[in-house]
Structure 1
Amino acid sequence: MPSDLEQVTAQVDDGQFGEAERQIALALGKPGLPVDKRRTLEFERERIRRIRLDFTLTQNDVLQRLREQIPDLKTEEFQAWDAQGLIERLQIDGEKRYFKRSVSNLFLLSPQAAARRAPPVRPFTTGPFEQLHPHHAEVLAAARAQEATSVAPRRLQVTQSLTVDADAVPVGETVRAWIPYPRAIPGQQEDVRFIASTPEQPKIAPESTLQRTVYLEKPAKAGQPTEFSITYELTVSGRHFDIDPSKVTRTEITPALAEYVAERPPHIVFTDALRKFSAEVVGQETNPYLIAQKLFAAVDRIPWAGAREYSTLSNISDYALHAGHADCGQQTLLLMALLRLNGIPARWQSGWTYSDETVGYDNMHDWGWLYLAPYGWVPMDVTTGQLKSEDPALQWFYLGGLDAYRIAFNDDYSRELVPAKQHFRSETVDSQRGEAEWSGGNLYFDQWDYKFEWTMLPSKSSNR
């Protein structure tokens, strides 16, 4: 029998908000309710509120938006796309509600829908390294020439800011903010130097913090936004591990590696559906690297689309398996779950990507690492995925390599911030935009904005 909490979670997932609210109210009214259970129930209530913010569109809203781009759209066409699950929706208490990004996502997921748009049509944009790029060859050539796994360094200065809306917090109340900040990772990002913050007197989390941030405080003023920012420098290197599949052996799972092959509810669970998918993809293969290749390719085939807020999803890897689309963090968690299920250690990494040649390009991004004996930990970026090249080393660049245009803020997901938040996080999994709160509660994403700005600097040469 599922527990009361499991029933509430399932009801929220299924859009049965009225019944879930009733169950939550009954449970919270019981005397002697443990603090952790009370907090979990209160978050399910908050999750309902956040899902409503994600699913703001009615069917008429979607039709109107589609007809702005497809003026002669037939109702039958819409119904066909809807029936195929290409227009993400949720039945909330019996009413169809559509995801706020469902229209733009449709054109990513359906070539037929994209072809129906009336000109002028804006082309879909991607990051510069999502296709074969000279930088990939630069990293490979340097790694081979220098017999190194860390090459082609880039040094940059970053200013990241978080601005809370005017009057989002009562006048005089202290606004607390956390802005992501990198830690030094040998061979990947080094020589991290903090320069300045607004306001001053920042509290920088210890370097051991897996979701590292800079903490700042500032009183709210009437009619004025509350602004926070940090500036720092660091050197980021490209990575390449020259993996010979014939040399890869089954990893001995030591105590240090045990957590990286384990389930970690709620987002990494070895469900029956995951086991079935894994068996179909892996088949009889036993070589860990070739298993990783098969799983990487299978997850890479899932189309990218704009994501729901992670905090609204009860099991992200399962969502990525069934939704028909996924973004970078969802694909990464699915691949991590599949690798772990097959006894291959896997862990998370995420941060921000950018480019010194594409004006105005930057983006939040998630990727990961897997452990292959005898090579140790090697990187993987399944969302950037395979590159179109006849050279296998370039084709599989992102299974054992990384470009030098990404900062890692997080070496794990869903870890405590330092200092800890008093209220629920806006992002319960990742940490890229930042967090904010005051004594009266969390400040959600609709109450503040963020910005990531960078400048490339002369590099300091360092290779490993």
Structure 2
Amino acid sequence: MRGAAGLAATRGKADEGMTSYEATNDDFLHLDDGLPADIARLKDAGELGRAVRLIEAELDAGTRPELAACLRAERARLLRTPLDFSVTRERAIAEVREEWPEFGEADLDRLIDHGRVDWRLVEGEQRFLPSFFDALRKYPEEMPGMDCPRPDRTAQLATIAEMRKAGAAERHVHIHASIAAGDAVHVGPETPVRCWLPLPAACPQICDVRLLDATAGVQVAPTDAPQRTAYWEAAGQREFFVDYEYTIRAPYVDLWAEKPAPAAADARFAPAPAPTVADVSERRPHVTFTPYLRELADRLFADIAADDQLGRARAAYDYVTKNVDYRFQPAYLLLDPIADSCAKSLRGDCGVFALTFITLCRLGGVPARWQSGLYAAPAEVGPHDWAMFYVDGLGWMWADCSFGSAARRDGDEQRRRFYFGNLGPWRMVANSEFMAPLTPACDILRNDSFDNQVGELVVDGRGLTSHDFTWKTELVSMR
């Protein structure tokens, strides 16, 4: 067996200049082309080094150029897998035992069988994400020996009540965000470095965006960029920051009323563009109308008229929030076609929830699209994704299926219903499209080739992964 050392050697070979093997961001549009059977079997068996060798041999031969993009993407995924899935089975059990001494092999297998723990085979060994432990705390009934505190929802519920009473909630937010190359990354005085950090974009929720301060030399993308950023090209710079402020207004609409009324508009905020053909279409590979999803949609919408957009969107929301449970995910480039996989596994994180809802809406003829950026609340700030959907007469509205699923786990039906149509004012919107280019475009494989929530760094022509850099997003003020 070649083993993990062999896989590392293969990676080193690429780093020494075998650029014909290197994936581009667009290669990931071809994941659903599918691997040759022999390579797919090696991948499934966890023989990642052998699978990489066969991919490189196939790319060298060039006999099936139609598969080249998929092969390059899969090679990048195989090299990334051991970085993300770095926790051995022995270490996973030891970590849980620090809080729950009785935890054992059978308990871990039970959690795996229940879909609570994601895993991959790496050179024949079962590996887990470092975040698996924190994910388990969301299910205290299944982890009786662990400390699983319930989240404090007081401020969240108060804001929801504010929106219901006033018809909207508005906040003025100041955020400081930074990214830095890790200590192991060499950045000499002349080393070329490129950096992108997310910025608030023009959208129906946000106005009055101001860049207050930034690392020298910043270039700011247009306000309507699909993934808006601050950008730098610098030599020898290993850390970058932005300080920005914006106003966000979250309107309230009750989509469970007998005759829902549209939320009141505010002239300060940019209106959402009219729906387009893209909003009801497939987008390979993750928003794809697979046979399974078509059958699921046929069942969900069987008794709902084709012109009842609200009813169909509600059916999609109900299905996702009542059936899909939260589970931390690896880097999205490691995920197979997302909506189809989620609908089968019934597990996902916020972006997986959003893409599954978007796909089901589009299958039902309901325009739907992506939004993402930050969940910027007084007590926490972090990356987050959600969806928009369109209903004639009501316009564009929002759905946060991740928050809706959490409300269902808590037994709070009112809160679950709130996140169908509404978000709350604790958001920063940077991205309006999934799988969109940065500005200027990044010609090197990104850490996240689909979305941009924490930023990207390219050092000396190499795109850094989240294992190579650190990032921080801080709420300076909210009023």
Give yes or no for contact 2:179–2:469 (8 Å, CA) kept in 1.
Answer: yes
Within the candidate set 192, 195, 199, 1:177 is matched to: 195
One-letter amino acid matched to 1:180: P
Q: Which residue matches 1:461?
A: none
Report the counterpart of residue 392 of structure 2 in structure 1: 373
State whether residues 217 and 232 of structure 2, in contact with CA within 8 Å, keep that contact through their aligned partners in structure 1: yes
* Superimposed CA distance per residue, residues 364-402 of structure 1 (whole angstroms, 9 cap, x where no aligned partner): 111110011121211111111175899998652221122
In the aligned structure 2, how far is the partner of 1:305 from the partner of 1:431?
Answer: 20
**Among candidates 147, 156, 159, match of residue 135 of structure 1:** 159
Are the aligned partners of 1:158 and 1:454 in contact in 2 as well (CA < 8 Å)?
yes
Q: Give yes or no for the alignment of 1:99 onto 2:125.
A: no
The match for 1:329 is: 351
Give the match for residue 417 of structure 1: 438
Matched letter for residue 246 of structure 2: L
- After TM superposition, the structure 1 stretch with the greater mean CA deviation from structure 2, 446-455 or 11-20, is 11-20
Once the two structures are TM-superposed, the CA of residue 448 in structure 1 deviates from its matched residue by 0.9
* Matching residue of 1:78: 108
2:343 corresponds to which letter in structure 1? Answer: L
Q: Distance in 1 between matches of 2:134 and 2:152?
A: 14
Equivalent residue, structure 1, for 2:76? 46
Aligned residue identity for 1:44: E
1:251-310 alpha-carbon deviations (Å, 9 max, x no partner): xxx995211111111101122222333344444222322222222122113221222111
Which residue is 1:116 aligned to? 145
| 1:394 to 1:61, Cα distance in 2 relative to 1, 3 A | closer
* Equivalent runs, 1:250-269 vs 2, <5 Å: 256-269=275-288
Contact kept, 8 Å, 1:109 with 1:303, in 2: the verdict is no
Cα offset, 1:76, TM superposition = 3.2
Q: Deviations over 1:131-187 (max 9, x none)?
A: 6x12112112222xxxxxxx332112221111112351341202111000112224x
Unaligned runs of 5+ in 1: 144-150, 249-253, 459-464
- Give the letter aligned to residue 164 of structure 1: A
The TM-score normalised by the length of structure 1 is: 0.83
Q: Does structure 1 retain, via aligned residues, the 8 Å contact 2:404–2:415?
A: no
Distance 1:27 1:4 in 2: 14
Mapped contact 2:381–2:475 kept (Cα < 8 A): no
One-letter amino acid matched to 1:260: D
State TM-score, norm by structure 2: 0.81
2:52 matched residue in structure 1: 21
Match of residue 189, structure 1, among 206, 210, 231: 206
Q: Residues 210-289 of structure 1 correspond to what in structure 2 (within 5 A)?
A: 210-220=226-236, 226-243=238-255, 256-286=275-305, 287-289=308-310
Asked whether the equivalents of residues 33 and 70 of structure 2 are also in contact (C-alpha less than 8 Å), the reply is no
Contact map agreement 2:177 2:241 (CA 8 A) in 1 = yes
Q: Is the 2:227–2:436 Cα contact (8 Å) retained in structure 1?
A: yes
The answer on whether the counterparts of 2:202 and 2:224 sit within 8 Å (CA) in structure 1 is: no
Distance across 1 between alignment mates of 2:150 and 2:296: 30
Secondary structure of the structure 1 residue equivalent to 2:329: coil
Shift of 1:414: 1.0
Identity of aligned residues (%): 27
Q: Which moved more, 1:254-263 or 1:313-322?
A: 254-263
Mapping of residues 279-428 of structure 1, within 5 Å:
279-286=298-305, 287-301=308-322, 302-356=324-378, 358=379, 361-385=380-404, 396-428=417-449
Q: How far does residue 128 in structure 1 lie from its aligned partner after superposition?
A: 6.2
Q: 1:164 aligned to 2:181?
A: yes
Q: Which amino acid aligns with 2:55?
A: I
1:425-444 mapped onto 2 (5 Å cutoff): 425-444=446-465
Decide whether aligned partners of structure 1 residues 398 and 255 sit closer, same or farther in structure 2, where only a CA change above 3 A counts.
closer
Separation in 2 of the partners of 1:326 and 1:305?
A: 5
Once residues 97 and 260 of structure 2 are traced to their aligned partners in structure 1, the CA distance between those partners, rounded to angstroms, is 56
2:86 maps to which residue? 56
- In structure 2, C-alpha distance between the alignment counterparts of 1:173 and 1:325, rounded to whole Å: 42
Kindly indicate whether the alpha-carbon contact (under 8 Å) linking 1:9 and 1:44 is maintained by their aligned counterparts in 2: no
Secondary structure (helix, strand or coil) at the match of 1:350 reads strand
Change (3 A) 1:457 1:109: closer
**Matched residues in 2 for 1:194 and 1:245: separation?**
43
Name the amino acid aligned to 2:71. L
Uncovered stretches (5+) of structure 2, i.e. residues with no partner: 1-31, 262-272
Distance in 2, matches of 1:6 and 1:419, equals 35
Work out the CA distance in 1 between the residues paired with 2:211 and 2:220: 9
Q: For the residues of structure 2 that align with 1:79 and 1:207, how far apart are their CA atoms?
A: 48
Shift, 1:23, TM fit: 3.2
Q: 1:169·1:220 contact (CA, 8 Å) conserved in 2?
A: no
**Residues 255 and 407 of structure 1: CA distance in aligned 2, closer, same or farther (over 3 Å):** closer
What CA deviation, in whole Å up to 9, does each residue of 1:28-57 have, x standing for no partner? Answer: 2135986x9655433322211211112112
Given that 2:397 and 2:422 are in contact with CA atoms closer than 8 Å, whether structure 1 keeps it comes out as yes
C-alpha distance in structure 2 between counterparts of 1:391 and 1:106, whole Å? 20
**Distance in 1 of aligned mates of 2:413 and 2:118:** 36
What one-letter code is carried by the residue in structure 2 that aligns with 1:300?
Answer: T
Aligned residue pairs total 429
Q: Which moved more, 1:436-445 or 1:285-294?
A: 285-294
Tell me the secondary structure at the aligned position of residue 325 of structure 2.
coil
User: Deviations 1:217-244 (Å, cap 9, x if unpaired)?
Assistant: 33227xxxx1100111111111223546
Q: Distance in 2 between matches of 1:450 and 1:195?
A: 19
